[in-house]
Structure 1
Amino acid sequence: MRYDDLNTLPIKDVMARFGAQLERYRLSRNLRQEDVARAAGVSRMTVSKLESGGGTLETLVRVLRALDIEERLLQLVPDATLSPLDPRSGQAAGRQRARPVAAPTADQPWTWGDES
């Protein structure tokens, strides 16, 4: 199943897929649920519940930390810094618009600018 199909699945099924993926990751590292539970400071049943699509955010963070992939949790939500064009960001003040070239006045003849 593709990731863009997730928005049509019930939340329960999305959580079950996430838990199964977490279990596959743990198994790929040759770790037992008991090993992860001990490192996370939770019970083996708590890890099992998380891998079944249940659990809490705190449990998830603990298990991700035990698997040494905690930093990936912060990648779930994009950084919401303000746009450089937004005046509230403080970055817009440093940029200046290009000044327009003054148009010739009536007493100056128009030229292409490449005359010498």
Structure 2
Amino acid sequence: MGTVTEYLQTVADPHRSLLQRIVEIARELAPDVEEGTSYGMPALLVDGKGFVSVLETKKHLALYPFSGQILPEMSEELGGYSWSPGTLRFSEDNPLPDSLVRRILETRLAAIRK
């Protein structure tokens, strides 16, 4: 078991299910992904680089793509979410659609594997 798996076990549903879905999509896109930490967060790593992290905070859930370039490039698609260059915030009431998660993660994966 790795750090992401262990972290998700500490999160209660329905938040766990929302975060777990992002992890599942990441594992589909990068079957060779490894669990570890990046920037002090439990993270999925590809080729030793931070691929994605998902966390629960007091006020929201968050996806961290470990790049400050991906989210700004998709700003028009992020209109219903609070975000900064390195963080996409969402909630149980406003979850991320799988299609958006895939696009973010495919973009990050391509950047890592360049």
Provide the TM-score with structure 2 as the length reference: 0.35
Provide the TM-score with structure 1 as the length reference: 0.34
